Amino acid sequence: VVRDVIISSPEVIKEVDGFINQKMHKDDFVYFKELFSPENSVYKGMNVTETKFARVFDDLLSSKSDYKEAGNLKEFLVSYNVAVYCPYPAEDYPAGTGALALTSDPVDNEQENLGYEVLDDGTYDEVTVDEEYTQSTPVWIISQEEESSSPVPVTSSSESIYQLRIGWVKATEQYDWLFAGGSEFKFCIIGGDITMTGATSFSSIQTCRITRSQIRHKEWVNFQYELDDDWYVSSDGATDEGARQFGLIEYDPWLTTFTLAFEPKVKIKTLEISVLKLELKITSSDDWIKTDKFLSRENFIKYNKVDMGNGLQDGYRVFAAGSVYWTLPLLEY
């Protein structure tokens, strides 16, 4: 159904492409719920109340008996956060590239899937869509996206607090296969020791998503997500939260059961996090990109604006592990 809607009109293609390009500075996808109800979009720039895509979609479902078995397809696309995902933006392709292909997440194949390349006469050719194909031809992939929100730090206190943030993040290699989308990294503040089979606790976990295009171009992305709302040390030294254990995990949606909305657990490959019990059980170190133990706040501050071998970004020290680089601003309020 979605394929027929998209290839039915050049105006529909132009409209959806415009929505994707407007969002490319933040995400590499546009939700179907935004295409159906753009007035409810949280992103600026979609100043319309009805889309051509929604009109054609409704007309197609009601006019063709072949689609009666689709049932509540519209409700499904909205409820399950299904989106049109674009691995690379328009500017990644040479001027004059007019072809467009449509495919979907095959679920059982990480590297390729059958796709439909739209022709000038409104028909399509079947093609094989893989990483190489997406780098030469614009591709839209129908896939389910995790919906998340970024916390906005709000602070008010008569005494200074020290807020630890995830600042700028850059990845220089793709960590996930094509249909898994961009790479997702979990930044954590953890308690206790990390061992191959040990257990520990965590007090904060944040997700930073880097698009395939940003990785391809080795772009820095500015997140400014709160990781610790106050790295506290009392003035007399009697109350000191002491060290901070930092962890960076590569999150693989292909091998993840993410049921946080229904059960208080997140499973990441061999890594299991129980949110209510605040326990982090580790059975393997394969998921970890980096772990660090910062022994004191004062030492962290002392060297956080010093080049320790990886340069500075926005005035802060760049940490690095694998093919990931990041800053950890510590701000006083």
Whole-angstrom Cα distance, residue 266 to residue 200?
Answer: 15
Segment (H or E) for 267? strand 265-268
Q: Which residue has the tokens 């395939």?
A: 212
Q: How far is CA 105 from CA 132, 161, 221, in A?
A: 16, 45, 26
Q: What is the pLDDT of residue 278?
A: 39
- Unique residue bearing structure tokens 């004191």: 296
Residue pointed to by tokens 């546009």? 30
Residue/partner pairs of 42-50 with CB below 8 Å, 24 or more apart: 46/19, 46/22
Question: Amino acid identity of 83?
Answer: A
For residue 86, with 0-12 CB atoms within 10 Å meaning exposed, 13-18 middle and 19 or more buried, which class applies?
A: buried
- For 102, 173, 215, 218, the CA distances from 181, given in Å and listed in that order, are 15, 13, 11, 16
**26 phi, psi to nearest 5 deg:** -120, -50
**Token digits of residue 281:** 């059980």
Furthest-apart CA atoms within the chain: distance in Å = 77
Please state, in angstroms and as integers, the Cα–Cα distance from residue 196 to each residue in 201, 275, 295, following that order.
Answer: 15, 21, 22
Contact 211, 233 (CB under 8 A): no
Please give the distance of CA 293 from its chain centroid, rounded to a whole number: 26
| 308: its two tokens | 């320790």
pLDDT attached to residue 150: 43
DSSP 8-state assignment for residue 43: S
Could you list the mean pLDDT of each consecutive 10-residue stretch along the chain, which spans 333 residues? 75 81 70 82 62 85 64 80 84 69 85 88 88 89 69 49 93 86 84 46 78 92 90 65 76 47 44 46 57 84 93 95 94 88
